[in-house]
Structure 1
């Protein structure tokens, strides 16, 4: 198999795999692939989400009702390759941080 590029081969295999998976069920995975999110960027996203979710839980316990600053912080810190609204919907659909994502979606709907 001389003369082949390992990156081209991996890309080709990934294309084949994505055709076998119903990516509508995995919108976050689809976004990661489409937006060329690296492993490091993916880890940073989930670190951000864990931090914001902890703050959300703390604010809920304190009786906060306005979580707009958390949404603004999330959108501001999100990787520029990702659209905040699309990412929030994808996270909720895949079952990540569901309560927080529902709050964010309600804020987005109110904003529109």
Structure 2
């Protein structure tokens, strides 16, 4: 019974906080909440992003100019609860991994242009 009360209290506190914070300014956090991402899933995502960032920097130093394979890897390893493009744009807006997210958004824009969308 105590766990239910704690859960209800936490839920109530989150509702109160959501009234004073413009959640639309935090699209990544909003995605995490809306898609019911657990703490472990959140940590897994950041572990993936850190690995991709490291690979991205290494490949840039080696002179690679096409990073599509990293985007494909991100999309393939992303939690199934999340949409890859939506997640990338949310991460970019909140300033996470800026150079990597810039590259991913460039690739997405080029793909959309190529497909005529």
Q: Shared topology, TM-score over 0.5?
A: yes
Count the aligned residue pairs: 110
> How large is the Cα RMSD of the aligned pairs?
1.3
Residue 26 of structure 2 corresponds to which residue in structure 1?
Answer: 26
Structure 1 residue runs of 4 or more that deviate by more than 2 Å after TM superposition? none
Deviation for aligned residue 1:5: 2.5
Q: For structure 2, which runs of at least 5 residues remain unmatched after alignment?
A: 113-117
Residue 36 of structure 1 corresponds to which residue in structure 2?
Answer: 36
**Is 1:10 matched up with 2:16?**
no
In 2, Cα distance between the equivalents of 1:102 and 1:54?
15
Q: For structure 1, which runs of at least 5 residues remain unmatched after alignment?
A: none
In 2, Cα distance between the equivalents of 1:59 and 1:17?
42
Residue 97 of structure 1 corresponds to which residue in structure 2?
Answer: 97
Name which of structure 1's ranges 10-19 and 45-54 shifts more when overlaid on structure 2: 10-19
Give the structure-2-normalised TM-score. 0.89
- Residues 25-47 of structure 1, C-alpha deviations (whole Å, 9 max, x = no match): 11111111111111111100100
